[in-house]
């Protein structure tokens, strides 16, 4: 089997640092453990674990209101869970919150048996949220593009992490 | 039971240059009492999320007091935030819940568990280092200095008189509250953060 191109957690964290991220608001998914170990060791990042994802968008909104720069790190299942916070805070208050969303169920084949994947993009389109797809290190600068887009439009922007082989792991 | 305006007048004396995040009926009361509207962010848009939003503000502005006036129904919708707040333990956060026992804004239906649960108990067990409960204004008045000088996160459950709204939406007077979007903009201006 050929080696798949991967998205390395070091590169993602470098993107956070070069965009001046101060706080990471997160709830884990199954592919992210290595990334958390690295983030914990990174002194420039304050980690905020939440009990459900609806909290994450509201906490990020408060961090922005207080003048710091958050990133939200959740799974697409958590995106569904956060609906009213995304609507009532991020969209209605025009807040440039960038969310990195683990794209559970995504495949490069298109068809997927996982409803989490099937509903992800239609919902983002319904909400009018701009999104980028990141699959491997070569795409990682789309995280920077997402921050530029969020700042330019004063709107939330999503980065879907569609690395079906590694997620945020090595 | 305590009238929320009486409570809020006492709290306002300890606000310093702090930021206040009220929600639901609490937003109307605080709008009457507040001594610095540029630092108030009434949260209407996402029910239950005042505590989470205020946690974010408290972490971003660790040198400012951040005061929440939560609703009891609202807090029930986001009980996990008690755990999240206790975990991050911001020293500058004062979390009031106005326990009127009902969903006042939607007509006064009782909240689930209204006669059984203890918010102060839940906050304490979630890990807040300090948790109070008040049912009497005089007692609160005699202890407000202790409450507001305790190191955060501090949880304060206050049994308040319900101010139930029952008119159809179309007949209700406009609240006169700032939209949350405007309030966030004003706060950033006031903190000198606008880019
Ligand atoms: C997610 C969600 N569910 C339901 C509502 C409808 N709703 C608006 S205000 C309110 C009651 C709020 O109750 P509480 O937090 O106890 O504050 P009070 O009205 O007593 O001041 C409800 C249920 C809503 N806005 N959002």
CATH number at residue B111: 3.40.50.970
Instruction: Assess contact for A32 and A167: CB atoms under 8 A.
Output: yes
Residue A80: domain span:
1-93+124-136+148-157
A112 belongs to a structural domain: no
Q: Which tens digit of pLDDT belongs to each residue from B45-96?
A: 899 999 999 999 999 999 999 999 999 999 999 999 999 999 999 999 999 9
Handedness of CA A19, A21, A25, A26 (dihedral sign): positive
Q: Which tens digit of pLDDT belongs to each residue from A139-166?
A: 999 999 999 999 999 999 999 998 766 6
Would you call B73 helix, strand, or coil by DSSP? helix
Residue B59: domain span:
4-191
Please state the domain count of chain A. 1
Instruction: Give A119: exposed, middle or buried? Use CB within 10 Å, 0-12, 13-18, 19+.
Output: middle
CA distance B163 to chain A (A): 24
pTM: 0.97
A13 belongs to a structural domain: yes
The C-alpha atoms of residue B38 and residue B31 are separated, in whole angstroms, by: 11
Q: Which residues of B touch A27 (CB under 8 A)?
A: none
Query: Do the chains contact at A85 and B78, CB–CB below 8 Å?
Result: no
A113 belongs to a structural domain: no
Separation in Å, CA B165 to CA A139, B25, B116, B157: 52, 9, 24, 22
User: Mutation test of the interface with chain A: which of B21, B56, B90, choosing the one with the most A Cβ atoms within 10 A?
Assistant: B56
Output the tens digit of pLDDT for each of chain B's 195 residues.
Answer: 999 999 999 999 999 999 999 999 999 999 999 999 999 999 998 999 999 999 999 999 999 999 999 999 999 999 999 999 999 999 999 999 999 999 999 999 999 999 999 999 999 999 999 999 999 999 999 999 999 999 999 999 999 999 998 888 888 888 889 999 999 999 999 999 975
A38 belongs to a structural domain: yes
Q: Which tens digit of pLDDT belongs to each residue from A51-76?
A: 999 999 999 999 999 999 999 999 99
A110 belongs to a structural domain: no
Q: Which residues of B touch A85 (CB under 8 A)?
A: 46, 49, 52
Would you call A134 helix, strand, or coil by DSSP? strand
B45 close contact with A: CB closer than 8 A: yes
Rg of chain B over CA atoms, in angstroms?
16
Please state the domain count of chain B. 1
Query: Do the chains contact at A49 and B87, CB–CB below 8 Å?
Result: yes
């Amino acid at each position: 089997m050929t080696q798949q191109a991967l998205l390395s957690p070091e590169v993602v964290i470098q993107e956070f640092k070069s965009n001046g991220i101060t706080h990471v608001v997160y709830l884990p998914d199954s592919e992210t453990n290595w990334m958390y170990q690295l983030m914990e060791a990174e002194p420039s990042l304050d980690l905020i674990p939440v009990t459900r994802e609806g909290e994450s968008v509201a906490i990020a909104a408060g961090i922005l209101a207080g003048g710091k720069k958050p990133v939200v790190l959740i799974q697409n299942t958590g995106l569904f869970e956060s609906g009213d916070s995304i609507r009532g805070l991020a969209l209605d208050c025009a807040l440039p919150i960038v969310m990195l969303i683990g794209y559970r169920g995504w495949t490069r084949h298109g068809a997927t048996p996982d409803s989490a994947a099937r509903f992800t993009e239609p919902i983002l389109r319904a909400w009018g949220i701009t999104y980028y797809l990141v699959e491997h290190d070569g795409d990682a600068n789309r995280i920077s593009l997402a921050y530029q887009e969020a700042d330019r439009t004063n709107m939330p922007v999503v980065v879907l992490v569609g690395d079906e082989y590694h997620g945020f792991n090595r | 039971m305590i009238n929320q305006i009486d409570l809020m007048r006492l709290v306002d004396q300890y606000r310093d240059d702090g930021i206040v995040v009220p929600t639901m009926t609490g937003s109307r009361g605080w709008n009457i009492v507040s001594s610095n509207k540029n630092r108030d962010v009434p949260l209407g848009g996402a029910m239950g999320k005042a505590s989470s939003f205020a946690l974010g503000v408290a972490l971003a502005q660790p040198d400012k007091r951040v005061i929440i006036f939560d609703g009891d129904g609202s807090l029930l919708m986001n009980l996990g935030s008690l755990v999240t707040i206790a975990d991050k333990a911001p020293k500058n956060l004062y979390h009031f819940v106005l326990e009127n026992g009902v969903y006042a804004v939607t007509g006064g239906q009782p909240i689930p568990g209204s006669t059984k649960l203890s918010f102060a108990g839940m906050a304490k067990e979630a890990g807040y280092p300090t948790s109070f409960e008040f049912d009497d204004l005089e007692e609160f008045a005699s202890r407000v200095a202790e409450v507001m000088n305790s190191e955060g996160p501090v949880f304060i459950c206050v049994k308040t008189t319900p101010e139930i709204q029952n008119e159809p939406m179309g007949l209700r007077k406009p609240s006169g509250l700032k939209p949350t979007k405007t309030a966030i903009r004003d706060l950033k201006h006031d903190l000198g953060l606008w880019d």
